[in-house]
Amino acid sequence: MTTSPTPTATATDEKYRGPAGELVDPSTTVLSARDLVKTFGRVIGLDGVSFDLKAGEVLAIIGDNGAGKSTLIKAVTGAIVPDAGQVFLDGREVHFRSPQDARQAGIETVYQTLAVAPALDIAANMFLGRERRRKGPLGSIFRMLDKSGMKTDAGKSMANLGIATIQNMSQAVETLSGGQRQAVAVARAATFATKFVVLDEPTAALGVKETGQVLNLIQQIKAKGLPVILISHNMPNVFEVADRIHIARLGGCAGVITPQSHTPTEAVAIMTGATTLEKG
Amino acid sequence: MSVDTQAPATAAEQFARRRQSPLQRIQHLLHAHPSLSPLMVLIISCIVFTIINPRFAQPGTISIILQQTAVIAALAIGQTLVILTAGIDLSAGAISILSMLLMANLAVNNGVPGFLAILIGIAFGTACGFCNGLLVTRLGLPPFIVTLGTLSIFTAIGLLYSGGASVGKAKMPDILNVMGTRFPIGPFNITLGVLVVIALAAVVGFALSQTAWGRHVYAVGDDIEAARLAGIQVNRVLLSVYTVAGLIYGFTAWVLIGRAGTASPNAIVGANLETITAVVIGGTSLFGGRGGILGTMLGALIVYAFNTGLALAGVDDQLRILTIGVLIIVAVSIDQWIRKVKA
């Protein structure tokens, strides 16, 4: 297939996108992706996908395995570089070459794999990769870490998100439950994100009660005013927390709906291609 | 607003808050302070050896143990860094010998000033470590295979370069032997090498526990994927670890000349494995992410305390080797047990 390099050209996506799917001017959104294309050899990962993330919303991206939801998220967080298309952050076009670029721009991602170092304590995990040094010569010459300061701030972040069950910041993460570990990862993302937080299947490895805790955290992040992109194929979770739901299908977008406009059953039907969204 | 609403304690939660058995408390204590177990082993074994043969506690014996331990302890500092990243370095001793032969031969046969010869030797050791690091990070080979290969390569280069010949003490400039300088501290007879190794341990221990680099070393060994996702440049950390280890092995060559008095290609033959023994007995986990320099120092001391203590007790040489083997297995078993600690 051929793709057009200009954003104004027609993409495969320029059709009816569901009740919440109207694309808006990128200058009014936190994140806008336009006509993203990514191919892996002959496999088409993304076939001209566009979406918007608006301020303060939880946007869920659902889709069957291989529908392109992870590829879509990787393309806007620098984990892969799209072959064509544009990404706008706060109205300005960005080109992320690595996850570090996205992270520096204020985008934080939480992965399903409980990406915390088990033997390190909670405070160390919160600040992993961006440790703070002490002030004065102890920090600048001896490069000493500001351990107590980081511990205090880790405690504050956890408290801000209402994570009351974890008190001791010098507790090794391996002594925590799966849900608590994921809470640490989510708290880390919420603390350092300035633009938005991406949660990639954050509850896939968790039990029911722990899933509830993570969903609660998503609400807390939203309450802080930070938009969230949630990737999941757990319909009840998605319908509980999402404001809008982007349905990925076969590398494209099968529509954007809201929990009010459609039922979970209808969403699954659209996701699997049993029905399609119709105009009108 | 709290994520976890405070419900009345269920049976399971009450179970979770039960009093811990003494064994569990020991497990938790060891989990929090991994160098406690080698410390206890060292103290208990010293008491037992002293009871068996009071000569063990004499300052002269202790001084000799410290002098014997210094070289392996120094190499084991580098080995600890590598093992903390879940790697292993089989070439530690080979790099040190190569650096030592370079220092001695440059100074004696090529007329290079002593101090410069030492610097070149250390730089060469660093380069060897850097090679190990490049092979591990760029080619993605397992550290075991890389260092098994470089063990042979570095050993062969050392033999080829030196022609298998030793360089004697008499010909060497004094600075090469300076680490062997003895002086009394109280009743003890300490060499400069011992003090330098203690200082080296303090510096590396500080870097591991107090700097971001140290934290990244632990994180990479603990869960390399989590470290990568947290934005740590994993390959850069690994490369730095192998390079610093090479630097330490090169530096140890200087200590080794002072200890041995000569520069022989057959010095410290067993050193490659002995460093691993010291690290493991010191409570550092072969699976990475756990342990530290203090434990390694204790581990190295334990090996030599056992050697000397069992010799003074009149135990057969083979039984000494056997005992060290048992210690290794016990140490790793304890590590596995500690890892199963519950919240």
- What is the complex's ipTM, to 2 decimals? 0.79
Residue B170 has a pLDDT of 84
Q: How many other CB atoms are there within 10 angstroms of residue B235's CB atom?
A: 16
- Per-domain boundaries in chain B: 70-299
Q: Min CA distance, A268 vs chain B (Å)?
A: 29
- On average, the pLDDT of chain B sits at 90
Whole-angstrom distance, CA of residue B328 vs CA of residue B324 = 6
Is B3 an interface residue toward A (CB < 8 Å)?
A: yes
pLDDT at B21 over 90: no
In order of A57, B106, B251, the CA distances from B245 in angstroms are 50, 23, 10
Most A CBs within 10 A among B3, B24, B336, hence the mutation to make, goes to B3
> Region B234-257: what's the mean pLDDT?
97
Q: What is the pLDDT of residues B33-84, one digit of tens each?
A: 778 888 998 999 999 999 999 999 999 999 999 999 999 999 999 999 999 9
Q: Min CA distance, A49 vs chain B (Å)?
A: 26
How many residues would you count in chain A?
A: 280
Whole-angstrom distance, CA of residue A103 vs CA of residue A84 = 21
Residue A78 has a pLDDT of 87
pLDDT at B310 over 80: yes
Is A160 an interface residue toward B (CB < 8 Å)?
A: no
Cβ contact, residue pair A117, B289, below 8 Å: yes
Q: How many other CB atoms are there within 10 angstroms of residue B120's CB atom?
A: 18
- Longest Cα–Cα distance of chain A, Å, equals 68
- The low-confidence residues of chain A, meaning pLDDT below 70, are 1-16, 114, 164-165, 278-280
Banded model confidence at residue B13, pLDDT cuts 50, 70, 90:
low
Tokens of A109: 């991602």
Domains (ranges, CATH) in chain A? 26-118+175-272 (3.40.50.300)
pLDDT at B30 over 70: yes
| DSSP E strand stretches across A102-185 | 107-110
Residue B191 has a pLDDT of 93
Whole-angstrom distance, CA of residue B102 vs CA of residue A185 = 50
Side-chain half-sphere CA neighbours of A161 within 13 A: 30
Cβ contact, residue pair B230, A162, below 8 Å: no
Q: What is the pLDDT of residues A38-60, one digit of tens each?
A: 999 888 889 989 999 999 999 99
In order of A124, A154, A173, A191, B187, the CA distances from A170 in angstroms are 8, 10, 9, 18, 42
How many residues would you count in chain B?
A: 343
> Region B153-170: what's the mean pLDDT?
91
pLDDT at B203 over 90: yes
